[in-house]
Copies of this chain bind each other. A is one copy, B any other.
Amino acid sequence: MEKDEVLIKKAASGKLGLHKIQDFVDTDKAVEIRRKAIERLTKTKLEHLAKHSISLGAVTNRNIDNPIGAIQVPVGIAGPLRINGEYAKGEFYIPLATTEGALVASFNRGATAISESGGCTVRIVKEGMSRAPVFKLRNIQDSVKFRDWVNRHFYKFQQIMGEESKFLKLNEIQPFIIGKRVFLRFVCDPSDAMGMNMITIGVNKVIDFIEKEYPSAKAISVTGNLCTDKKTSAMNFILGRGKTVSAEVKIPEKIVKEKLKTTSKNIAEVCYSKNYIGSARAATLGGFNAHVANGVAAIFIACGQDPAQIMNSAMAITTAEAEGDGAYFSILMPSLEVGTVGGGTSIATQREALEILGCYGAGTPPGTNAKKFAEIVCANALAGEISLLSALAAGHLARAHAYLGRGKALK
């Protein structure tokens, strides 16, 4: 107790760095001391941040540095959402963590429309996680020579990366030359993990090999932004990163009218004017959709994914067309970066969210849990698109916000 007080005082006076506290006490105790120091430093009372059931001591450094507590993000359920995927089959209850009123209700409405129509079909059409270091060579001839040398050493690099983890497989190297700079985009299958960390470690080992065996290739940086990690990029939009997933559903006009309160033709008009003409005019990159980022952010936070990766993961093209007796909707998400092991997936609450979806941990066979989860994320995004486009077509988006977002009940 007395020792704690001494540490708090030292930390609160700046004499002890916040990250040094854990050198003197165990990591759980350090959380408390650090929080108390912050309370004094900022003259605040951090009661609720203190009330976490997850052990922060256990994940200190692994998942968090200098922890002082936990943020609680409300999680609601949308669904059941019927999915006819290759990996996700059946009805799913989707955990969505958000503080935006009406969001879960909106995805829920879309899920109901999909489920009543027999479910949506989802397919992963491409896969591969990437990391792209940048090298400097002597000159452009050397760049070309190096590129060819790299191609000849593909299996060697595959072996080096495979030694880092049996769950890591190098599938392709995409080279990009600009004068004497060469970017090598390593594309891997990281099994059920999102994989950035293990790929980065693997790529670093390959870099060590390269610098030894091809001395004129000097690594400038283990990442040269062609990966592209956490910056919306056409590179990922076109070549894919993580999973490239597409989903579709045909909703009979009867359901469009009764459930979605509008018509297929009106939905198609909103989609055309907003998702296409509007997004074209706004010069979006991969933003040909209504609000995919809402669904991706909410399920990412619930399920321990990296929320900074929504920059690429939420790029999407949504189509909505009147077709025969109903509406045809489809969605493409070219760069969905997800995992069911590693990252934040094993934090207790995030783990439970993944368990609700039957996706926690490594799949059998390996890789299938991450694929199942990717299909669910895509299906959920489709549900959100259907709901919002319909709401806009029906003209009640604003009303929904007015009622739900301000604490009034949905009629």
Contact = CB atoms under 8 A, between A and B. Distances in A.
Contacts of A48: 53-54, 348-349, 351-352
B234 A283 contact: yes
Contacts of A226: 278, 281-282
Nearest to A351: B48
The 3 closest A-B pairs by CB, nearest first: A179-B330, A99-B344, A231-B287
A178 interface: yes
Interface string A210-237: 0000000001111111101111111111
A228 B121 CA distance: 29
The complex is assembled from copies of this chain, and their number is: 4
B232 A284 contact: yes
Interface residues of A, number: 172
Contacts of A298: 308
29 contacts: A44-B355, A47-B348, A48-B351, A48-B352, A49-B349, A62-B405, A64-B76, A64-B98, A67-B76, A71-B97, A71-B301, A72-B72, A72-B347, A74-B347, A125-B147, A134-B274, A179-B319, A201-B398, A204-B398, A220-B273, A222-B398, A224-B274, A228-B279, A228-B282, A230-B291, A232-B315, A233-B287, A297-B308, A311-B311
A277 B181 contact: yes
A71 B350 contact: yes
Interface in A261-295: 269-270, 272-294
B348 A65 contact: no
A260 interface: no
